[in-house]
Amino acid sequence: MKKHSARAAPLSACNSPVLTLTKVEGDERSRESPAPAEAQMQAGAEGGGRVSRCCWKCSVTQLKKIFWGVAVVLGVCSSWSGSTQLAKLTFKKFDAPFTLTWFATNWNFLFFPLYYLGHVFKSAEKQSPKQRYRECCRFFGDNGLTLKVFFTKAAPFGVLWTLTNYLYLHAIKKINTTDVSVLFCCNKAFVFLLSWIVLRDRFMGVRIVAAIFAIAGIVMMTYADGFHSHSVIGIALVVGSASMSALYKVLFKLLLGSAKFGEAALFLSVLAVFNVLFVTCIPVILYFTKVEYWSSFDIVPWGNLCGFSILLLTFNILLNFGIAITYPTLISLGIVLSVPVNAVVDHYTSEIVFNSVRVIAIVIIGLGFLLLLLPEEWDVWVIKLLTRLKVRKKEELPEGNGDVTSGLPNKSRRTRPSMSSFAH
């Protein structure tokens, strides 16, 4: 109730001067008693002014969203491609993909503190960190974040998060970053297939076509290098990473539903807590078994590790909270645009061969990804657009006939009236 009253108060304050202004104008009109034609003109001018103001506000709002959308797209593209390239450089000095995954996941703990800082600066009603935490904990249920909820609703997603990132980073060791980034785009097709099977989402033919494109692109990408064991393992790792990412998203929707910004920030911070408590033992075991071993901590490229973690954190922040300032479709475009960026970098830094099969595979997977960005009602919009175009053409034809007969004498106009008069 407090929020409602707080929102209603500014509206009444804004409307009161307008009401006073209309009263004064009404008194002046009763004194002057203008003619009906003048009154109609005044009313029309006022109505036109209001419409133009509304249109101006709408256009400014849309321009702001598009501007922020472009900024977010550039941020998503640069952070995703930058983290991929930096991981590739890191593995030349520090060959430990799981340790890098564990180190970068720990940075997720910053999600909720960063969200709370944004809440303090932006929200009108300030809350203490404890109050905000308790309010966001309702996302996990009536009892909040209990030990049972932690193991049943947070731990599975922590495992999927770790697997997604580890398989992606391990694939970067096997194949070039262009192939890794384009194959990871298939996760959107996997999300659709799992949502259709598990969540019983609406069947869409265009998305089935997109899924077929994704599968065809994977096969062609494998064929591009001649089915060598090294490239096949790398492609299998990326497809596994995309599958884990799709499973993460579908299970989140199935078990937890949709989350607000604060709830999502708290959930991602909880994943970092799970990572510290239960995943830390795995890098230690890998170190002592010399699977991921380094002779001394002095040779660890801490700058690369921290840079990769910051870029990945930035990417996840933009991906999860960018919808607050722009359209979700624009955010997804940033992931696709990272493919040509990685291709340009690979062209100058590695021995990648862009043969016809690889280029066709990249185009097919990219096209499938773009098809999956179409909204569910895209076919209805297309039908409406075609209907409007047909109606306009029908209206333009009679008007054209009327213009052609405009050169005839007046008698012919009276005896043979134009068909345009009956069109309306």
Question: Using one digit for the tens of pLDDT, what is the confidence trace for 236-283?
Answer: 999 999 999 999 999 999 988 888 889 999 999 999 999 999 999 999
d(CA 269, CA 247): 20
3-state helix, strand, coil in the chain (%, to 5): 85, 0, 15
Dihedral, CA of residue 49, residue 55, residue 57 and residue 59, to nearest 10? -150
d(CA 82, CA 385): 40
> pLDDT tens across 289-314, in order?
999 988 888 889 999 999 999 999 99
User: Greater confidence, 218 or 285?
Assistant: 285
Decide: 108 and 313 in contact? Cβ < 8 Å. yes
Instruction: Measure Cα distances from 408 to 374, 395, 403 in Å.
Output: 52, 22, 10
Region 174-200: mean pLDDT is 89
37: Cβ–Cβ under 8 A, 6 or more apart, which residues? none
> pLDDT tens across 314-356, in order?
999 998 888 877 777 778 888 889 999 999 999 888 878 888 8
The full DSSP string for 149-178 is HIIIIIHHHHHHHHHHHHHHHHHHHHS-HH
Region 137-166: mean pLDDT is 92
DSSP 276: I
> pLDDT tens across 157-175, in order?
999 999 999 999 999 998 9
Decide: 234 and 175 in contact? Cβ < 8 Å. yes
Residue 55: band (very low, low, confident or very high) from pLDDT cuts 50, 70, 90: low
- Report phi then psi at 308, rounded to 5: -60, -45
Decide: 136 and 51 in contact? Cβ < 8 Å. no
